[in-house]
Structure formats: C-alpha cells, structure tokens
Amino acid sequence: MWKTWIFCIVLGALIVAAAAYQVSRSRSFQLFGEIVAWVETDQKVIALTFDDGPTAAHTAATLQMLRDAEATATFFLVGQSIDAQQSETRAIINAGHEIGNHSWSHPRLMLMSRSRIKSEIERTDTAIRDAGYTGPIPFRPPFGKKLVMLPLYLASENRPTIMWDMEPDGHADLANDPDAYAAHVIETARPGSILLMHTMFSTNQTARDALPAILTGLQNNGYEFVTVSALLDLATAP
C-alpha cells in the first residue's frame, strides 16, 4: 500500500511541476493580472521591441537603422546595463523611443520572493527615470518567465506583463540567414503583433543584418511601428 501512496505522491508532484513549467513559459496565460502578447486591432500596427542592453557596441547601429526607417520602438532595458551605459540609454531616449523595464540583473524571477521581485523592478524604474525618461515604463520579465509572485506583484501595481507573439531569434533555422529571418517576420506579422528582437549583443549579427529588411518589408506591407504603450491604448480604446 505504501508503495502505491509513494507512486501517487511522486506522480502528483510531477504533474504539478509540469503544469507550473507550462504556466511559467506561456506567452498568453498567467495566474494573476494581465498578460499581453498581442493586441486585437484592425489597424496595421506592430510594436517592435528590443530586449536587453543597452550595449556600447550595438546600440548606435540599432538606433541608426530605426532612424533611417523613421520607426519607433520599445527598448526593454536591464537596470545594471542602464547604469553602465548612460550615454547609450540617453541616446535611446533622445531618439524618441519608449523605455521598458527588463529587471535590474536579468534573473529568472519566477521563484523569487516578492521583496526581491520588487527590488529588481523598482531599482530599474529608478534608473530609467534618473536617465531622463519621462514616459510610461512597460515591464517584460527576463526570459518571459513568471509563475506566482511576479504576476501577483505586477497585478498589485496595475502593471501588465508584456510578452510577444513573434520571436525570430527562437527559430534555430533562421539563426544564420538574415534573409530567411526577415522573410519569416514579414510573412507572420499581423495587426497588433509584438515583435521581440535582440540586436544589442555581438552574438546576434543575424538580427542586426535582418532589421533593415524587416523595417522596409513591413512598411511596404502597410504597417506602422508603434510603442508597446501605444499598442495597449488601442486595446483599451472604445
């Protein structure tokens, strides 16, 4: 009998762990509060988002490509990187882009305490404000991971979890082919999409090489680039 009980306990634990893992990685579901991966709208608008950084090596190039296309984006920045790269942060702000909060040290927040989560987010908010940014600050969890305490904290602050519905960096077959990378984005985009890219680090040259074609291709298809906050406003508009 005791073996049966042990088996049931182990099986139950595995089921709970599997369910928790699925919830932690879901782009469209969380246990508390609001989560946004895409906004339903008839308008041909897309929120272009860049995670991590800023970095000294590639911030200027990313900004120049956006400037050339007259495109606006949201940069989800890491607090430690903001402190280390003040001039790059100000360059993003001065170019008119939105700054998002991507935590202070980019940890997986899903199993952290409320006090640690609060510190990670509030320290980054402070760094963003100290850099001179005055607009809304959306939040995106590092690695997109969340479970219980993070959604609870965000819900208490009336702050949605910003995810994405397009992540070309997650497709191994696109990793070394900028043309295929860009084509994938252009073909899968839809009104209200949130596109996630990582252009800040030297390891992702493909994303940087693909960005001009993505900007041109989507604009040729009638899309306009908006900030995450502007996209959220469309979702709540009557």
- How far, in Å, are 113, 167, 179, 193, 231 from residue 217 at the CA level? 43, 17, 11, 15, 20
The DSSP code for 139 is B
Whole-number pLDDT of residue 11: 42
This prediction's pTM: 0.91
Whole-number pLDDT of residue 14: 41
Residue type, 109: L
Whole-number pLDDT of residue 229: 98
Q: Which domains does the chain have, with CATH numbers?
A: 2-236 (3.20.20.370)
Whole-number pLDDT of residue 78: 98
Question: pLDDT 10s per residue in the chain (238 long)?
Answer: 655 655 445 444 444 444 444 555 566 768 889 999 999 999 999 999 999 999 999 999 999 999 999 999 999 999 999 999 999 999 999 999 999 999 999 999 988 999 999 999 999 999 999 999 999 999 999 999 997 999 999 999 999 999 999 999 989 999 899 999 999 999 999 999 999 999 998 899 999 999 999 999 999 999 999 999 999 999 766 5
Whole-number pLDDT of residue 3: 57
- Strands (E) across the chain are located at 35-36, 45-51, 74-77, 98-101, 161-162, 193-197, 224-226
Whole-number pLDDT of residue 205: 96
Whole-number pLDDT of residue 114: 95
Do 149 and 155 form a contact (C-beta atoms < 8 A)? Answer: no
- How far, in Å, are 14, 180, 195, 214, 238 from residue 49 at the CA level? 35, 19, 6, 13, 25
- How far, in Å, are 21, 111, 167 from residue 9 at the CA level? 18, 22, 37
User: How long a stretch of residues is the chain?
Assistant: 238
